[in-house]
Structure 1
Amino acid sequence: MIMKSFYHIILSAAFATPLIAGCGKSFLERTPQSSLEESALTNKKGVNTLLIGAYGALDGQDFKDGDLVNLSGGSGYAVSPDNWIYGSVCGGDAHKGSDPGDAAAVLQIATFVGNATNSFFNDKWRVDYEGVRRCNFVLHVLKNVTDMSADEKKELEAEARFLRGHFFSDLKKMFDHVPWVDENSESFLKLNVDDYKVPNDKDIWPMIEADFKFAADNLNEVQDVIGRANNWAAKAYLAKTYLYQKKYALAMPIFEDIIANGVTAKGTKLALTTKFHDNFDAFTENNSEAVFSIQYSANDGSGGTGNANQGEMLNYPYNGPFSCCGFYQPSQDLVNSFRTDAAGLPYIDDFNDHAVKNDMNIASSDAFTPDAGNLDPRLDWTVGRRGIPFLDWGNHPGNDWVRDQHSAGPYAALKNVYMQATQDKYYDGNGWAPGNAINYVLIRFSDVLLMAAECQAEAGDLTIAQNHVNEVRNRAANPVGWVKTYIDPSRPMAGYTNTPAAHYKVSPYAAGTFTTKGKAWAVKAVRFERKLELAMEGHRYFDLVRWGIAQSELNRYFSYEKTITTDIVGGNFGAKNVRYPIPQRQIDLSVKNGTSVLTQNTGY
């Protein structure tokens, strides 16, 4: 078995200047110091090493000259593959956190006043296109490899196209109108600098579909290395691509096939884990729920923190046992969503009328009793809140672990935090901010269940939709997976009692509920379940946009949340904000014969 660091090998010959619209001459013209000629890569070993580099681009990170940077040279957190900024903060799951002046560019994005000159957009664009470029180079070199069988070449092509589909789907979700460049494009093969200026005037969903379809048809079902994509991962991405285009009839049978027959790349039947938190613990990752994950490792001997998850480097409680930095604070709006009624069901339409008690303006030295009402137990595996066990680090003390309550509220992110008991193995302190070995699961099985439920609710069977939602809720209802109190709060690693840490009450929907209440309500219930199950995982903004409710939902969020915190008082979501702006830097670089080849998105 090859270790996780396998995916972070960097081959200098393969990874010179990124090939992006308007960006200089091709790496094919360059011979970096200590690099290999392309001919040296045109063999089985060489092209497989290039593929490793394409996998290595998934996390967007590099370790250079003793410091962690992203693949475009900027801050690693700007391009975190979990999209914590662009998907969760911008989706109302969380505040930027810290204080208003710290990484102010993120607050501009979060309140939708960020414009095309915001450097974070340019970083994100460049890093995704670096991933595309690596995939294209694999495919370019593969054509001339002679020491591989046809089946081996087809499998490797499928992996490269799967990864390219991933990078392009991220670009499509972010910016909508982006240039398509593949290994056959003139922009990839020619040497004239102007040939690299590719317009963004085509819908690239069909090309993304084609990549995932090829991968689904040609990838192996079982892989010999943890972290490599299998055919079921490709099917999940293909179905998700259809879902984003509202092609429910095409997506639905693929999702149902995955649910019935899918396996992980290790050959394990895809299924929900018994415990929700097993998806966010490095000790229990690559489990039955992991359809496809970005692999991270810590203290693996590779030097620095380049293999650790440092896209989340800012997102730990302020002070306390963590060195950085108080960002990514869950919103009160999100916390209230986990309130349940007497039957253990969510308040889908009026959850903010049933607010969860918080410790705003209460010093950690003053007494505080946590909310005693009914709550969905997933709350306390998602949000760190006062008086509740924060993994095995002790009860969250409230204000002492928050940088500025008035700005961003009283809560802390939790899904990205490593365990104290295993920090010697899974925490990496070699950088200026924490790194850890917790994988980011790009698609997990509960996501597949809920996407299938959405398709069924939109175009199929409300009973099946409810069954899929209930499978997710039944896992949440199992007390085995609930947060429990400590045996001794002063020694949190001494173990837990069998007493739930809060009054948890969650139940499946009663038989026939979706059918009785009708399609519109059923769709709303599925969407709300996604909010609960996938909170703080980078999905929310993109979900709201594809559902066509981003403007109403996010302005509702701003209206409510600004009564609690000060950071998002100026937040407003307009019609243009259903996509992010094309980076102005890229538009400036795309000028050809006095005219920009790239076109800015409407409204920016």
Structure 2
Amino acid sequence: MKNIVILFALIGLLVSCSDEFLEKEPFGELTDGQVELPENIESLVISAYSILNGQGNEASNAFNSPASNWSFGDVLSDDAYKGGGGTGDQNQIHRMEIYNIDGQIIDVVQKWSVLYEGVYRANTVLKALKNTTDFDEATKTQRVAEMRFLRGHFYFELKKLYNRISYTDEDGNYLSNTQITPEEIWTKIEEDFNAAIAVLPETQADPGRPTKYAAWAYLSKTYLYQGKWQLASDAADEVISKGGYSLTPNFSEIFIPENDNGEEVVFAIQYSINDGSPSNYNGSIGDRLMPPGGPRYPAYGFLRPSQNLVNAYKTDVDGMPILGNVDLTETDNVDPRLDVTIGRPGIPYKDLGINYEESWARDLATYGPYGPKKRVISANHPDYLPSWPYVTAANYSIIRYADVLLWKAEAEIELGNLEEGRTYINMVRERAKTGCYIQNLEGTANAANYMIDTYNDPFDSKEEATIALRTERRLEMAHEGHRFFDLVRWGIAADVINTYLEKEKIARGFLTGATFVAGKHEYMPIPQSQIDAGGKDESGNPLTTQNPGY
């Protein structure tokens, strides 16, 4: 099913790892001449793909740098609490969720390090391909395009997390964050994805390799983050009109391993278990703290849905979202995606034949009764590992087709084409409306009062359309690591998060004292180790400087 796997023993031989990406020795035990042999270059290609999963060392702590960004994109937003065994369990993530963040927090440091390790590995392959004289030219051209795509991905992640980042290319040219602007970084990322588009095929035999349309999709996302609306719309059109993707008919089936590389998946990180890798590090190692407890899962209990997110799924008698964060009651109408995304008491959990109960919830008094569900796979499934480290072989989709449709909708709304935007929003809502709903244990009725409909009337204003789009992105993409970054790029993070905190603090005392500071907390601090290692210019000024407010 998954033809690109992570070969840790091989990576250890070919690529030396260090916390200081600027001070790396080029290779572990191979000379430059050996590295440029075709078989070794292909091994280096695999090593570049392998770092996508966030596992940068042998300590099984990729939860400090998860590929899914659950701690950065979900816990930092209004969608989730850290969870676990109280605030002292992975306390550094608790500090992040109350915005007491500095450049020495291990997650801030390790995420930076892992992403730059990805840049380094992609650059290593690109350099080797430049210098080799004994490599099939067609394959060489393809591998260059793949590495440009991966490098674009790693820099995109760095840019959205840290904003003011440094840049290095395959020729060793280095620019610190005082020598290259954030706008120039975007240009570099665009160049990588455009280069990938020019070469990559429309389909790949190995599903883990990017296609031309994956590159188009990522370019659309890059334009979207910059507010280049027409370019974002045009790039999304390439994916929608030519890519051959479609929405998986049932929302709940997007996230099962059988659909890991299905019709909705544009680009995904490939995971596997029981394949001989050390400690099953090829599995979903960054998400290994997610199992929700109960009779079939270990009680790690991280990534706990917020009450605010639960409330967002309330719908009115017409099946439309109810805004205003009114607490959900048992008899309320709800969007059916609620019980695919979130474990709720009294609602069947996966295919286990049992209801989720609040007794599953670790530290119930602190974090409330809800548990993660969307990206937790059934304990009955052979791709679930029922022993340490409790990882799965379920892929993580970096981009899925619903994402692209909503990017298209957003771009069209920003361009003033409200009806076009409504069309694409409704494509996503229609799937939620017509797909299978969660049934009670007996299979005789819906498990809750599910009610959803499309937007059947034209939007009266751009403001109304924008609210609809942003609401739909939250409901569709919840707990996939995107929410915080959406709030930041929309310029509403401070308002939304501080409003969320004002109410949540009443029931969730661990949030007391939490305040989001505009102009600071939109981005992570630059790791202090990188500032210290960055050197100084001729006048003695640091070449790498800290982000504002830290």
Q: Which category of TM-score, normalised to the shorter sequence, fits these structures?
A: over 0.9
**8 Å CA contact 1:381, 1:414 repeated in 2:** yes
Does 2:161 align with 1:161? no
Distance 1:380 1:43 in 2: 52
**8 Å CA contact 2:344, 2:358 repeated in 1:** no
Aligned to 2:440, the other structure's residue is in SS state strand
Q: Do the aligned partners of residues 2 and 440 (structure 1) sit closer, same or farther apart at CA in structure 2, a change above 3 Å counting?
A: closer
Offset at residue 310 of structure 1 (A): 1.5
Does 2:14 align with 1:14? yes
Does 2:33 align with 1:46? no
Q: Do the aligned partners of residues 306 and 467 (structure 1) sit closer, same or farther apart at CA in structure 2, a change above 3 Å counting?
A: same
Distance 2:177 2:307 in 1: 43
Alignment equivalent of 1:486, drawn from 428, 441, 452: 441
Matches within 5 A, 1:510-529: 510=456, 512-514=457-459, 517-529=460-472
Distance 1:124 1:397 in 2: 33
Alignment equivalent of 1:242, drawn from 198, 223, 247: 223
CA deviation vs aligned residue, 1:154-193 (integer Å, no higher than 9, x gap): 2111100100000000000000000011112334xxxxxx
**8 Å CA contact 2:320, 2:453 repeated in 1:** yes
Offset at residue 444 of structure 1 (A): 0.3
Distance 2:353 2:200 in 1: 45
Alignment equivalent of 2:132, drawn from 145, 152, 157: 145
Alignment equivalent of 2:342, drawn from 373, 376, 383: 383
Matches within 5 A, 1:54-453: 54-61=48-55, 64=58, 67-68=59-60, 75-98=61-84, 99-187=86-174, 199=178, 201-203=180-182, 204-262=185-243, 269-348=244-323, 350=324, 352-353=325-326, 355-357=327-329, 371-422=330-381, 425-431=382-388, 433-453=389-409
Matches within 5 A, 1:453-472: 453-472=409-428
CA deviation vs aligned residue, 1:175-225 (integer Å, no higher than 9, x gap): 0000011112334xxxxxxxx977564221100110011011111111121
**8 Å CA contact 2:402, 2:428 repeated in 1:** yes
Q: Number of paired residues?
A: 544
Corresponding residue for residue 513 of structure 2: 570
CA deviation vs aligned residue, 1:258-288 (integer Å, no higher than 9, x gap): 11111xxxxxx20000111222111222100
Distance 1:4 1:430 in 2: 24
Aligned to 2:419, the other structure's residue is in SS state helix
Report which stretch shifted further, 322-331 or 501-510.
Answer: 322-331
Q: Do the aligned partners of residues 122 and 391 (structure 1) sit closer, same or farther apart at CA in structure 2, a change above 3 Å counting?
A: same
Offset at residue 6 of structure 1 (A): 5.3
Offset at residue 398 of structure 1 (A): 2.9
Report which stretch shifted further, 108-117 or 335-344.
Answer: 108-117
**8 Å CA contact 1:296, 1:438 repeated in 2:** yes
**8 Å CA contact 1:57, 1:131 repeated in 2:** yes
Q: Do the aligned partners of residues 37 and 55 (structure 1) sit closer, same or farther apart at CA in structure 2, a change above 3 Å counting?
A: same
**8 Å CA contact 1:337, 1:346 repeated in 2:** yes
Corresponding residue for residue 502 of structure 1: 448
**8 Å CA contact 1:405, 1:565 repeated in 2:** no
User: Which amino acid in 2 is paired with 1:377?
Assistant: P
Distance 1:80 1:600 in 2: 23
Aligned to 2:337, the other structure's residue is in SS state helix
Does 2:547 align with 1:601? yes
**8 Å CA contact 2:177, 2:545 repeated in 1:** no
**8 Å CA contact 1:255, 1:452 repeated in 2:** yes
Aligned to 1:530, the other structure's residue is in SS state helix
CA deviation vs aligned residue, 1:492-535 (integer Å, no higher than 9, x gap): xxxxx25211110000011x422xx1111101110110000000
Aligned to 1:449, the other structure's residue is in SS state helix
Offset at residue 394 of structure 1 (A): 4.0
Offset at residue 151 of structure 1 (A): 3.2
Aligned to 2:43, the other structure's residue is in SS state helix
Offset at residue 36 of structure 1 (A): 2.7
User: Which amino acid in 2 is paired with 1:159?
Assistant: E
Distance 1:454 1:147 in 2: 47
Q: Do the aligned partners of residues 313 and 117 (structure 1) sit closer, same or farther apart at CA in structure 2, a change above 3 Å counting?
A: same
Distance 1:186 1:467 in 2: 45
Does 2:493 align with 1:547? no
* Cα RMSD after superposing both structures: 1.9
CA deviation vs aligned residue, 1:297-322 (integer Å, no higher than 9, x gap): 12223342111102111112135321
**8 Å CA contact 2:229, 2:414 repeated in 1:** yes
**8 Å CA contact 2:79, 2:309 repeated in 1:** yes
Distance 2:179 2:263 in 1: 39
Offset at residue 91 of structure 1 (A): 1.2
CA deviation vs aligned residue, 1:303-358 (integer Å, no higher than 9, x gap): 4211110211111213532124011100010000000001000023x2x13x213x
Distance 1:565 1:503 in 2: 27
Distance 2:449 2:165 in 1: 48
User: Which amino acid in 2 is paired with 1:596?
Assistant: P
Distance 1:209 1:280 in 2: 29
Q: Do the aligned partners of residues 11 and 420 (structure 1) sit closer, same or farther apart at CA in structure 2, a change above 3 Å counting?
A: closer
Distance 1:222 1:338 in 2: 36
Aligned to 1:235, the other structure's residue is in SS state helix
User: What are the ranges of 5 or more consecutive residues in structure 2 without an aligned counterpart?
Assistant: none
Q: Do the aligned partners of residues 505 and 2 (structure 1) sit closer, same or farther apart at CA in structure 2, a change above 3 Å counting?
A: closer
Aligned to 1:442, the other structure's residue is in SS state strand
Offset at residue 11 of structure 1 (A): 3.0
CA deviation vs aligned residue, 1:539-590 (integer Å, no higher than 9, x gap): 0010000000000000011012112222212211111111111111211222
**8 Å CA contact 2:334, 2:449 repeated in 1:** yes
Distance 1:554 1:111 in 2: 11
Offset at residue 392 of structure 1 (A): 1.8
**8 Å CA contact 2:332, 2:449 repeated in 1:** yes
User: Which amino acid in 2 is paired with 1:415?
Assistant: K
Distance 2:268 2:10 in 1: 20
**8 Å CA contact 2:334, 2:451 repeated in 1:** yes
Distance 1:183 1:440 in 2: 28
